[in-house]
Each structure stands twice: as structure tokens, then as C-alpha cells.
Chain A
């Protein structure tokens, strides 16, 4: 399964041992503090060894970690959030969650891709892979925000857009293409944060933004490593190799100029201290929105155009 979860199992043993010793220590006259301290030091050392420097492939698994904070954790931490539903045409897609919210008192349109936190929810939310209806909901909310002058705040967390039969029948391509246009033309500040896995066009549909933030161990890729390996080498088993070549880590993407800012995570990943990671992300977003809100819509659009115009291009 997830190798990060496997590695955590070893640490869990040690955690249990430490807490046992602590409770024994409290009820006994013999002082075991030195033993406890030694174990804690060992724990920190292992944590550092295991998680101190993650390979790109390990980061992919960190981004997919079942306990990693999801979009709803961020939306739930806003001062207020009122969800809006549906694409007005066909269906409400549970893999997209969006609506009005208050970010540090400021009204915003907040939209995120939502994977499940357990198997049951994953099935209900299609493993966070939005269907065309989901992207049409995103597009609708983006247009609404643009009309009302509400900044758009998005949370990216998907392996990719749903590749199923009905999604093709309902024109997945058109749904994503229209989303891209809506974000490209929205007359309000847009701040996108990649909180988990950013996979392909299905991620980009929520990520054309004036400021793009990534969590330290999140990934953002032209295709998921599994899909890339299947496409290039017809062998999904070579996903690890693809992960190392794709330059999908936040650090690589900052160097390539694809993203603007990285929010650090605690050693071992965001899920080790979800509340503080969520708070740190929200305050980073707020700072960006505050700066961007000072710009006129014309200036905002011009700068957004230039930003994407210049990514990966050469001096004329």
C-alpha cells in the first residue's frame, strides 16, 4: 500500500512504548526520565532518517497519504463556509466542494477538489477525480465570483480528471477547457494552493491563478507518474522512474517558475499537525489575497496574462 503509512507503523511502535513508559513513570518512584528521553531522541532520529529527505516518489505517496488534510479541512477552518451545489445542468459532483466563505473576515469564493478520507467516502467522491459536472460547477462559481467581485481561493488535490465513459460522453475536455477560460478571464484575485496531488489538466482547471502556492510535500505534474509511465513506456510499474523525471515536487516547480511559494510542513508530513498546517496555509493565502485585492481588475488581468505568457518561454 502506501509506503509512507508502512514506515509510520514502525514509528507507531516506538510512540506506544514511549507513552507506556510515561504512564509507568508517573505511577512509580523510580525515575525513568533518562530512558524516556533516550527513546524520544531515537524517535526523532528515525523520523529524520525516514522523512528528512523524501524522494519524488515518496512525496507522491505523502501527497496521497490517507490522513493528509483535504480540501474540506481547509474550508472547514475558514471563519465561515456555506457550500453551494450543482452544475445547474445534470448533477452535483461530490468530488468538487465549493461555496461562499469568510477568510479572515473577507468574503471569498472557496473551491476545492475533495477526495475521500476513507474507502466509503472515496467511492462517494470518486477518489477526488471530478467529472465534467464538477468542472462545470467550478466554472459557474468562478463566473459568479468574478461578477460579485469575490476573490477566488482554490485547493488542488486530485490524481486527475475522471477518465470514465460518462465523463467522455459529457465532454470532459470541454468542461476543463471552459474552466481554464473562466479562470483566465476572472476579474478578481485568484489564489490556488496545491495541498496534495495536482494531476494534469484536472488539477490545472482549478489552478490558473495570480498566485500559486504548494505545500512542501505536495506534487503537481503534467500527468500522474503512473499515467506518465503508462503513456511513455506502456508500463505503469515504472511510475517511480517517471516521478523522478517529471520534476513534480514543489521545490522543482519553484525553480522552474511554475509556482510562486511553498508552505513548509512538519517533519513527517502535514497530517502530523494538521491544524497548524491548515492555519499556516490559510494565512499565506490571506496575505496573497490582500496584496492582490489592491490591484485594479485590469492590472490583475494584465499581470496574470504576462505570468502565464512567460512560463517556459525564451527571451525573444
Chain B
């Protein structure tokens, strides 16, 4: 595996690698016990059965960009617009997710290069509030598309989301409108947009910017859909087949372009960017 780039080392803290080395994870599919270090070296793919683990945003970025990555919108921080509180207050939930994930919010956005080409990159992280979209996620993605439009570089998003964030109510739903507007402007300017749907991508995120891309890639077995499985099962009152709402199922139904193994992902994205980068005519 390539050495950890400097920006990531700073982000994760100096002791992160030592911490990782001592941890292990159990594959939820085949039950294999894997050392975290080996898992990371294999791009968080089970060395035994090929199951794709969910990836943290910074881990993902480090495996996708060539070297440097400059964040945009990192200083956009969440408020508590509804004054939400249930078992815990919303600010307390955010604080505990910050602690748990090491992230300031559910998406990391910025600029880097892939295969030597500039790209605007946004990566969602399921570890922060289930990757849900509230005002910060919406604002960061909007900023990314606005800046990408100015620089005329392609956009690439990795989605992982349970949908709109309940604790921000309608302001969360409005982020679907806001990001759509930014994506539409970006694309109308002739700029290409690629999305990689990762496990899981649902609700307000799948029904907005995720399915607005020119090319839609998905990771193997990723769960992708509008409604969650539980909601559908309650509605239709029957058990759903295992394959339902997987990336492979969506490919068969014509909803996505390709399913790509994580080991092939960077090479595939590089080729797509090569085809899609605008040429002077």
C-alpha cells in the first residue's frame, strides 16, 4: 500500500496507524476475523470473501486521489435550526458523532487529482449520523459544485447516506433542492459528473444528486434505493428477496451504468475522466 500522505496523517492524528494495527474486524458476511491493518491494505475488502466494508471518508480519499487533497467547506459547521431534542439533544448527537467518526460532518469535499486530472471530489461517510444530509452536507456539496464550475473541472461524488436528516426537518429536505440547483448549473455548463454509489445510498440523497450524475458507478453489493428495506417490507407486507436493492439488482434493472470492484475503482474512474474531460473544440 502507498504510504499515508501527509495531509491524511495530520487529519487522523499521528498515532492512527499504530491504533489500527492493534484492531481487528469481523467480516459481517463470511465471519472471517481480519486485522485492521490487513483490511486497510486490501482497501477494506474482505481478504476471504471479497465483501466491501464501508469506508471512512478520509480513507476513501487517500485511496482515490493521486496525492494532495485540498478541502473546501470544512469550516461549515452545523447549527440546531429546529432546537431538536429527543433522547439526546441534536447538538449532543453531533458531538458524539464527531468524537466517534473523527469527522466534522457527514461529507468531506475538496479538490485533488485522479490519474493526473484535476477533479472536484466529495465523499460521504456513513459513520456520521448515518451519512444523512442536513444543511452542512447540502452546503458543502453546493460549494463543491460551484467551485468546480468556476474551475471547469469534473465532479466525482461517493455517496453513503440514510437520506435526509430528520433532526433538521424541512431544512434538510431543502438541501435536495439546493444541491440539485448547483448540480444542474454545473452540468448545464457542459461539465461532467460521475457518482459512485456505496453502501448504503438511500432516500433524499439517492433521490437528488446521487441519481443526477452522467455516469453512475456502484460498489459490489451496495444497498441502493429510495425507500429503506424496512419501510418497503411494512408497506407490501412481504419479505424481500436478498438481492433486492443491491448494486447488481440496479444494474440489471437499468438504473446504473456499472458495478466496479474497489480494486478496479481508481483505474476505472481515471478512464472515465479521460473520456469525459472536456476538449477544446
Give chain A's interface residues, CB within 8 Å of chain B: 161, 163-165, 167-174, 176-178, 180-181, 184-185, 200-201, 204, 208, 220-223, 227-228, 230-233, 241-242, 245-248, 253, 256, 258, 304-305, 308-309, 311-314
Contact = CB atoms under 8 A, between A and B. Distances in A.
Contacts of A163: 226-227, 231-232, 235
Interface in B49-70: none
Contact of B135 (A220, A221, A304, A312): A312
Given A228-B166, A309-B142, A180 B231 contact: no
Nearest to B130: A231
B139 A313 contact: yes
Nearest to A228: B166
Given A185-B188, A204-B177, A165 B166 contact: no
Given A168-B244, A222-B168, A312-B174, 17 more contacts: A164-B236, A165-B244, A167-B227, A168-B227, A173-B206, A173-B207, A173-B226, A174-B255, A184-B177, A200-B204, A201-B164, A201-B176, A204-B177, A222-B165, A230-B230, A246-B170, A312-B81
8 contacts: A164-B235, A168-B225, A173-B210, A180-B176, A180-B208, A222-B173, A223-B164, A245-B85
Contacts of B82: 245-247
A177 B86 contact: no
B231 A227 contact: yes
A174 B216 CA distance: 11
A181 B166 contact: no
Closest 4 CB pairs of A and B: A163-B227, A312-B171, A173-B206, A172-B226
B183 interface: yes
Contact of B164 (A208, A222, A313, A314): A222
B226 A185 contact: no
B169 A173 contact: no
A310 to B, nearest CB: 9
B173 A204 contact: yes
A203 to B, nearest CB: 8
B174 A308 contact: yes
Contacts of B185: 305
B189 interface: no
A246 B173 CA distance: 11
B24 interface: no
Contacts of B135: 312-313
Nearest to B255: A171
Contacts of B16: none
Contacts of A170: 253
B161 to A, nearest CB: 11
A200 B173 contact: yes
B181 A247 contact: no
B253 A171 contact: yes
A201 B203 contact: yes
A247 B232 CA distance: 26
